[in-house]
């Protein structure tokens, strides 16, 4: 019975494409043995899950919605979506301290100092990745300086403590508050800049309220 429950859960998560996000959510994980059978492990002890633990995990993953048998683990879906968004953002243009220094024709130390000063003043968005800090390129002029038109948009978002990944995504993807327009592009139009700034302030208020 334990093995059947473990297989059913693993097959279900495989179909949803959520298996890779279990560890990030602090949940038990599984691997497939040479026969393809799922082997579940307790993240705290490293020991195989007991029947009771599998039962608890089953209930936890199916607790969303009015029909538990058709429910989906919302937290895992959010983690999966977040991972996809981050992959999409990193597939775009960004710079390291070294590449930005080369663009500016300055030393790495001088560039790092300038970048952190602009970040502290909420004029520049920095994002921490697994390999180091990156500077999303959309917010820079061709010579590598912070875009003046973006400063009034970045300031409320960063002051509110908005997650850098979320800020990057909102600024560079179609935004509902702007009728599906991309904020960082829209703000470059002087006739639309006030609308973008107003949307950023409204979003910042939501971020601050939820924090």
Those residues with Cβ within 8 angstroms of residue 84's Cβ, 6 or more apart along the chain or in another chain: none
Q: Whole-model pTM above 0.75?
A: no
Closest to 201 (Cα-Cα) out of 179, 185, 172, 178: 178
Mapping DSSP to helix (H, G, I), strand (E, B) and coil, where does residue 133 land?
A: strand
DSSP string, 95-123: E-HHHHHHHHTS-HHHHHHHHHHHHHTTS
Q: Quick: pLDDT tens for 170-204.
A: 999 998 878 889 999 999 999 999 999 999 999 99
Count other Cβ atoms within 10 Å, centred on residue 187: 26
- Give the pLDDT score at 168: 94
């Amino acid at each position: 019975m334990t093995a059947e429950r473990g297989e059913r859960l693993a097959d279900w998560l495989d179909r949803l494409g959520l298996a890779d996000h279990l560890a990030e959510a602090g949940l038990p994980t599984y691997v497939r043995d040479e026969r393809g059978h799922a082997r579940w492990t307790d993240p705290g002890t490293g020991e195989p899950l007991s029947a009771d633990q599998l039962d608890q995990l089953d209930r936890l993953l199916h607790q969303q919605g009015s029909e538990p048998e058709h429910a989906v683990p919302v937290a895992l879906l959010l983690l999966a979506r977040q991972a996809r968004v981050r992959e999409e953002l990193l597939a775009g243009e960004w710079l390291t301290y070294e590449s930005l220094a080369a663009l500016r024709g300055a030393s790495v130390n001088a560039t790092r100092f300038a970048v952190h000063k602009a970040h502290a003043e909420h004029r520049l968005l920095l994002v921490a990745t697994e390999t180091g800090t990156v500077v999303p390129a959309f917010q820079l002029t061709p010579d590598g300086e912070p875009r003046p038109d973006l400063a009034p948009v970045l300031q409320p978002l960063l002051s509110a403590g908005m997650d850098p990944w979320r800020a990057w995504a909102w600024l560079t993807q179609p935004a509902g508050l702007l009728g599906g327009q991309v904020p960082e592009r829209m703000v470059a139009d002087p006739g639309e800049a006030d609308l973008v700034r107003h949307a950023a302030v409204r979003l910042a208020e939501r971020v601050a309220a939820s924090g």
